[in-house]
Structure 1
Amino acid sequence: MSDLPFGFSPQDPDDRDRKPGDQGENPFDFNQLGAMLSQLGAMFSNSGTSAGPVNYDLAKQIALQQLAGKGGTGFGPDQSGPVADAVHLAEMWLDPVTSLPAGARTSQSWSARDWVERTLPTWQRLCDPVAQRVSGAWVDAMPAEAKEAAGPLLSMLGQMGGMAFGSQLGGALAQLGAEVLTSTDVGLPLGPEGTAALLPDNIEKFTEGLERPTSEVLVFLAAREAAHQRLFSHVPWLRQRLLDTVEEFARGITVDTSALEQLAGQIDPANPASIEEAMKSGMLEPQTTPEQKAALTRLETLLALVEGWVDVVVNEAVGERLPGADALRETLRRRRASGGPAEQTFATLVGLELRPRRHRSAAALWKLLTDQHGIEQRDSVWEHPDLVPTAEDLDDPMEFAERFGQTRKALEDPMAELERTLRDADGSGEGGGKGGEPKKDEE
């Protein structure tokens, strides 16, 4: 990948054997390092305190300030009643089209400010592995002489990284908070477990130009939110699998030691906003290691499967009840495919560029499973991660549907499957079992 932002580059094989004290052709400027850390000291006193690799106090502060500037404070009329009614209606429509029971124990109307405050704990789980890797990599990559010269100022280096990431996170959260329609709009379980949340102010802006009643759009989005909640509540491994995949991607990040000198030249100590300006080109970039490619593919596939399942289930639930359902469905698909909130946020915060194009392939696979095996069998795919389709299965859904039917038959009657395997092994084949008994699967 070319034109990587400062500080991040694929690891040079020649660097693997380099000793900590070797400086190569670019000797480390200790004076510049010391001056940079000393100048930045004054900046930390007003940035809030936050344990860990990201200054989440600063992130929250920046996000709320930017939302206030956009008028996103959310102090308008209370919309909790219409939201509760929409979710209740959506749940009733979803019951016949999925075997997964309702997952939302409560429904809430959120402002953009509410969204920032109530999703921040999940963003912390997503961002910490990446930020921790970056923060540790910067220190680990420094020559031994530089570490000794920096001494106690190394902790300030960690604060600097935490501020930089926190500033970037705050800006991204403000942008998302002004755009997202529900708590699961980015395809991830960001809000509190068991809470279905819609953002009426954002939904009203989204509805402008659609030529559909706001009430209809509200019910459609409530159905999507409720479907997401059913999946995340009743597939216990799904939430952790998504977070683990992000962490796996983070482990492959490498850092260029020249970032420290470049950063020193780009930051104006008298202007705290210069940190955000220096980092706005992107803190991270996806690396090209095979491990990271595999992790990225798994994450893209899993998110596509979630979105595809929700797409199919919601279409079955509301397709004949809401006149504008097809148009809304296509609008949301295009919204994601054009680089929606999920893709932009992951590219900015953790270096993952999601590719929603797999969304349509996943929806086609779930529809095929529904048609061939029924609702219960389709939803049973989520029972274990080993049953879930892979990226290759999205390329050939027909083959997966056929294989899945055989797999479910084996799981439902393992003794019959074992006897059939034994018959195939001893050549009995179509002639029946021992003693002339008919094959069980033909009874």
Structure 2
Amino acid sequence: MGHAAYRGAMSEFPFGFSVPDPDGDGKGGGKPGGGQENPFDQLGQMLSQLGQMMSQAGSSSGPVNYDLAKQIAVQKLAGQIGFTAPAESTKAVVDALHLAEMWLDPVTTLPVGATSAKAWTARDWVEHTLPTWQRLCDPVARRMAGAWVEALPAEAKQQAGPLLAMVGQMGGMAFGSQLGNALAQLGSEVLTVTDIGLPLGPDATAALLPANIEEFTKGLERPASEVLVFIAAREAAHQRLFAHVPWLRQRLLGAVEEFAGGIKVDISALEQLATQVDPANPESIEQAMRSGMLEPKTTPEQQAALARLETLLALVEGWVDLVVGEAVTDRLPGAEALRETLRRRRASGGPAEQTFATLVGLELRPRRLRAATNLWRLVTDKHGIDVRDGLWAHPDLMPTAEDLDEPLDFSERLSTSGEDPIAQLERTAGEQPTDPKDSDD
């Protein structure tokens, strides 16, 4: 979970469990004749209730209960969007992607990346992206959950062994609940499987969500077919990058994992928290959890990972923005207005991006999208699409955050040699031992 999420996650399942009221009269489960329930019976009922709740939540182990996450997301989405995409939606998506691929072919050297085209419902999106969410969320949840155990004195850990296992399971359920709610929100908003800039879905699968695209189209005053082809072109362009730039998927997901894995919880804050709560009063615990005391501080390593992620996201989105613009501007009358709408949507970050920030602890938006688009346009105009797309061949060839500030300097450096980018990289690497300052790094 992310910083804010952790404060709210545990509130999904309150601390302390009310005893079931078998009589349904609101007076509790007292014994006949006004006698008080045996406290051990109360404990037994509570544990039985807890066990039942855990069994219903699925058998998922680990820091996040993904069975529960999926269950909650699917339940929330069931009332909003149908469980299967209509046949006509599937045909429209396949046709739109086919047309988009033909338009993209002349404007990029990267070939078609997707071998299958899908029309997904929000439920399909949840099911097919959950494995990647697991990879992204586990480091955060494991860090946050482990901090509680680390804070306990050694004797307390020994005494609380069975209880810690139960608390761990409860934490997994709380995180799972938080993730499920977040996925439901994202699933009702995303337009394609690559919509937030990460390769969340199965390899080589282009997927559009027609119901969400239809909702998105309502405020645009453009024909639905035009919007669909434009969105399809963006999805197809993303898929070309993810399929034919072997290092890109690992770099993007790795930067998120690196950021999440660097979360450190202030143990002294945990100890201070322990002195402020009354175990008999669940409200005091919840209040303390929401106080922000446990919010992790961002480390320099995390800041560096975040900067790398933001730059790479901007370069991906800028490249997609440029090539899609070149592919569709002369063919779709509303293309420029659609490009601007999508730029603003990605750069400003809507509820979906805020949800991701809550989940993983960082805002996933390419803050420098326009600068990246301008750099790619400059390189294209001066050097052509072969050189531009050739830069994706190796991560060391990619523009840096500093290059986004000075795109002319970057373009000039590309002019210093007639070599192709890979040959230039090999030559530069060969010079590094004798003249390290020549390296871009």
Deviations 1:154-176, CA, capped at 9 Å, x for gaps: 22222122111111110111001
Verify the 8 A CA contact 1:285 1:352 in the aligned structure 2.
no
Q: Which one of 393, 406, 410 corresponds to residue 403 of structure 2?
A: 393
Q: Distance in 2 between matches of 1:416 and 1:246?
A: 29
Q: Distance in 2 between matches of 1:278 and 1:61?
A: 29
Is 1:293 matched up with 2:306?
no
Alignment partner, residue 330 of structure 2: 320
Go from structure 1 to structure 2 and tell me whether the alpha carbon gap of 1:218 and 1:382 turns closer, same or farther (over 3 Å shift): same
Alignment partner, residue 270 of structure 2: 257
Verify the 8 A CA contact 1:284 1:351 in the aligned structure 2.
no
Is 1:374 matched up with 2:387?
no
Go from structure 1 to structure 2 and tell me whether the alpha carbon gap of 1:264 and 1:243 turns closer, same or farther (over 3 Å shift): farther
Deviations 1:185-209, CA, capped at 9 Å, x for gaps: 1111111110111111111111102
Verify the 8 A CA contact 2:122 2:188 in the aligned structure 1.
yes
Alignment partner, residue 66 of structure 2: 56
Q: Distance in 2 between matches of 1:206 and 1:395?
A: 33
Alignment partner, residue 140 of structure 2: 130
Q: What does 1:56-95 correspond to in 2, within 5 Å?
A: 56-74=66-84, 76=86, 78-95=88-105
Is 1:223 matched up with 2:233?
yes
Unaligned runs of at least 5 residues, structure 1: 9-33, 269-273, 426-443
* 1:57 Cα deviation after fit: 0.4
**How many correspondences in the alignment?**
386
TM-score, normalised by the number of residues in structure 1: 0.79
Alignment partner, residue 199 of structure 1: 209
Q: Distance in 2 between matches of 1:403 and 1:265?
A: 67
Q: Distance in 2 between matches of 1:114 and 1:4?
A: 28
Q: Distance in 2 between matches of 1:95 and 1:281?
A: 54
Deviations 1:44-102, CA, capped at 9 Å, x for gaps: 23221112221000000100111113345346554111111100000000001001000
Q: Distance in 2 between matches of 1:417 and 1:241?
A: 24
Q: What does 1:347-426 correspond to in 2, within 5 Å?
A: 347-406=357-416, 409=419
Provide the secondary structure at the position in 1 that maps to 2:190: coil
2:326 alignment partner AA: E
Provide the secondary structure at the position in 1 that maps to 2:270: coil
1:89 alignment partner AA: L
Provide the secondary structure at the position in 1 that maps to 2:160: helix
Provide the secondary structure at the position in 2 that maps to 1:299: helix
Verify the 8 A CA contact 2:196 2:364 in the aligned structure 1.
no
Go from structure 1 to structure 2 and tell me whether the alpha carbon gap of 1:417 and 1:84 turns closer, same or farther (over 3 Å shift): closer
Q: Distance in 2 between matches of 1:56 and 1:232?
A: 26
Verify the 8 A CA contact 1:54 1:131 in the aligned structure 2.
yes
Is 1:311 matched up with 2:321?
yes
Verify the 8 A CA contact 2:185 2:352 in the aligned structure 1.
no
* 1:357 Cα deviation after fit: 2.5
Q: Distance in 2 between matches of 1:354 and 1:368?
A: 26
Alignment partner, residue 196 of structure 2: 186
Q: Distance in 1 between matches of 2:126 and 2:426?
A: 53
Alignment partner, residue 168 of structure 2: 158
Q: Distance in 2 between matches of 1:70 and 1:372?
A: 49
Go from structure 1 to structure 2 and tell me whether the alpha carbon gap of 1:5 and 1:349 turns closer, same or farther (over 3 Å shift): closer
Verify the 8 A CA contact 2:206 2:239 in the aligned structure 1.
yes
* 1:294 Cα deviation after fit: 0.6
Q: Distance in 1 between matches of 2:277 and 2:296?
A: 20
Q: Distance in 2 between matches of 1:224 and 1:237?
A: 20
Unaligned runs of at least 5 residues, structure 2: 9-42, 436-441
Go from structure 1 to structure 2 and tell me whether the alpha carbon gap of 1:411 and 1:368 turns closer, same or farther (over 3 Å shift): closer
TM-score, normalised by the number of residues in structure 2: 0.79
Give the share of equivalent positions with the same residue, in percent.
Answer: 68
Q: Distance in 2 between matches of 1:101 and 1:299?
A: 25
Alignment partner, residue 154 of structure 2: 144
Deviations 1:245-282, CA, capped at 9 Å, x for gaps: 122112321224256776967868xxxxx99x998999
Q: Distance in 1 between matches of 2:397 and 2:337?
A: 32
* 1:335 Cα deviation after fit: 1.3
